[in-house]
Amino acid sequence: MKVETRNIGRALADAGGWRAILLYGEDSGLIRERAAQSVRQVAETLDDPFRVAQLERDTQDRLEDEATALSLIGGRRAVWVRDGQDSLAPLLTRTLETQTDTLIVIEAPGLSSRSKLRALAESRKDVASIACYPEEGRALSQTVTDALSQAGVSIDRDALTWLMGRLGTDRSGVRGEIEKLVLYAGANGRLDLDAVQDCVGDAGGSSLEGAVFAALSGNRSEADQALERALADGANPVAVARAVLGVLVRLQKVALGVESGQGRAEAMKALKPPVFFKRAAAFNQALDRWNADALARAMRETQAFELACKQSGTPDMALCRRHIASLCGIWKA
Judging by beta carbons within 10 Å of its beta carbon (0-12, 13-18, 19+), is residue 58 exposed, middle or buried?
exposed
The strand order across the sheet containing 127-131 reads: 52-55, 78-81, 103-109, 20-25, 127-131
Average pLDDT value for residue range 285-306: 92
263: region left, alpha or beta (phi > 0 left; psi from -120 to 50 alpha): beta
The helix-helix angle for 316-329 and 292-309 (nearest 10°) equals 170
Asked if residue 273 has a cis previous peptide bond (ω within 30° of 0), the answer is yes
* pLDDT range class, residue 198, cuts 50, 70, 90: confident
- Give the phi and the psi of residue 82 in degrees, each rounded to 5: -100, 150
Flag whether pLDDT at 229 surpasses 90. Answer: no
Q: Taking the alpha carbons of 159, 164, 165, 170 in that order, is the dihedral positive or negative?
A: positive
Give the 3-state secondary structure of residue 262.
coil
Q: What angle do CA 320, 323, 327 make, to 5 degrees?
A: 145
Q: How far apart are CA 171 and CA 179, in angstroms?
A: 12
Residue 204: predicted pLDDT: 43
Q: How far apart are CA 6 and CA 3, in angstroms?
A: 8
Average pLDDT value for residue range 204-214: 76
Flag whether pLDDT at 203 surpasses 50. Answer: no
Pairwise pLDDT comparison (249 vs 28), residue with the higher score: 249
Pairwise pLDDT comparison (209 vs 123), residue with the higher score: 123
Query: pLDDT (tens digit, 9 = 90+) per residue, 69-98?
Result: 988 788 899 999 999 999 999 999 999 999
Give the 3-state secondary structure of residue 286.
helix
Residue type, 287: L
Residue 269: predicted pLDDT: 86
pTM over 0.75: no
Query: pLDDT (tens digit, 9 = 90+) per residue, 250-268?
Result: 999 999 999 999 999 999 9
